């Protein structure tokens, strides 16, 4: 129960961060500015926390080159997601982003050599059909926006799989820190070409966004440390409820019928993959 509660809280925090990012990006703040200024807060905060714990050494990578490549690819995850978020309703973006579980399963076969049976293969196919339904002509956003969100979802899947691959030699704090550092460095290098004058309220909202991001990821870490991943992972889908609330309250947008149908298919397929992974793990342990 502790893990579930922390997971639900983490999704609430991260969903609020996404809503803030969408608001800023639709009010003349560029996505590069959002990523750069978010990193300016997150990086020193992470270093301060680990310095306070006398654990700065845990942030040091073993395979520096792998961290660099992982960070470069990982940068595309928030970049594409936030860019797509500007062009499609938040609910649609969140639903399409959940397709990362299908990409992660595919990549685990290719790069980690994991075995996937017919049940999970069927779930992958059905799940991607759900994505096509959400992004179809009857959807509530632009096709380019959906493609950007899907690209962000794919980049996140690569980030996730590379993290699992490197976890045998790299600490979790080093993977988190190097990823955020890469996002910060790349976005700061690009910032001169994308800088727009900001109001005082924009700075306050960007600070809040960064704090929500840190709190959300920290809370999610506690969640995964408190319970089995297969138990708490399904509660990630509470993000759809938060997205609907924000769409209705801020942008006065209701989910379309195709979004609702696609969401049911994607979430159902994702939950079935989690269930089959749990069944498979139980069989192996026996």
Q: How far apart are CA 15 and CA 22, in angstroms?
A: 11
Q: How far apart are CA 198 and CA 195, in angstroms?
A: 9
Domain borders along the chain are: 2-285
Tell me what the pLDDT averaged over the chain comes to: 87
Q: What is the tens place of the pLDDT at every residue in 190-216?
A: 999 999 888 888 999 999 999 998 888
Handedness of CA 151, 247, 206, 200 (dihedral sign): positive
User: How many C-beta atoms lie closer than 10 Å to residue 143's C-beta?
Assistant: 13
In the structure, what pLDDT confidence band is assigned to residue 247 with cuts at 50, 70 and 90? very high
Q: Between residues 279 and 255, which one has the greater pLDDT? A: 255
User: How many C-beta atoms lie closer than 10 Å to residue 203's C-beta?
Assistant: 11
**DSSP label of 235:** G
Whole-prediction pTM: 0.90
Task: Give the CA angle between residues 85, 66, 17 to the nearest 5°.
Answer: 25
Q: How far apart are CA 261 and CA 285, in angstroms?
A: 36
Closest-CA residue to 214 (of 46, 60, 33)? 46
Mean pLDDT score, 254-272: 88
Closest-CA residue to 49 (of 176, 169, 168, 162)? 176
Q: How far apart are CA 84 and CA 90, in angstroms?
A: 9
């Amino acid at each position: 129960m502790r893990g579930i509660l922390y997971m639900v809280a983490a999704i609430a925090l991260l969903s609020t961060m996404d809503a803030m990012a969408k608001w800023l990006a639709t009010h003349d703040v560029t996505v590069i500015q959002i990523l750069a200024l978010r990193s300016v807060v997150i990086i020193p905060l992470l270093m301060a926390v680990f310095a306070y714990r006398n654990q700065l050494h845990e942030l040091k990578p073993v395979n520096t080159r792998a961290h660099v490549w992982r960070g470069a690819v990982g940068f595309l995850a928030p970049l594409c997601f936030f860019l797509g978020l500007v062009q499609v309703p938040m609910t649609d973006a969140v639903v399409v982003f959940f397709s990362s579980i299908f990409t992660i399963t595919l990549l685990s076969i290719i790069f980690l050599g994991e075995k996937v049976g017919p049940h999970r293969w069927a779930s992958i196919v059905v799940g991607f059909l759900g994505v096509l339904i959400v992004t179809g002509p009857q959807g509530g956003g632009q096709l380019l926006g959906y493609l950007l969100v899907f690209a962000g979802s794919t980049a996140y899947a690569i980030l996730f799989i590379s993290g699992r691959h490197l976890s045998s030699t790299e600490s979790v704090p080093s993977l988190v820190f190097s990823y955020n550092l890469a996002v910060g460095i790349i976005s700061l290098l690009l910032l001169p070409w994308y800088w727009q004058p900001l109001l005082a309220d924009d700075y306050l909202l960007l600070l809040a966004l960064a704090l929500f991001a840190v709190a959300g990821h920290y809370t999610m870490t506690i969640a995964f440390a408190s319970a089995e991943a297969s138990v708490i992972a399904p509660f990630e889908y509470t993000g759809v409820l938060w997205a609907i609330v924000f769409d209705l309250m801020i942008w006065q947008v209701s989910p379309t019928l195709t979004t609702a149908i696609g969401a049911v298919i994607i979430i159902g397929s994702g939950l079935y993959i989690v269930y089959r992974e749990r069944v498979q793990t139980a069989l192996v342990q026996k």
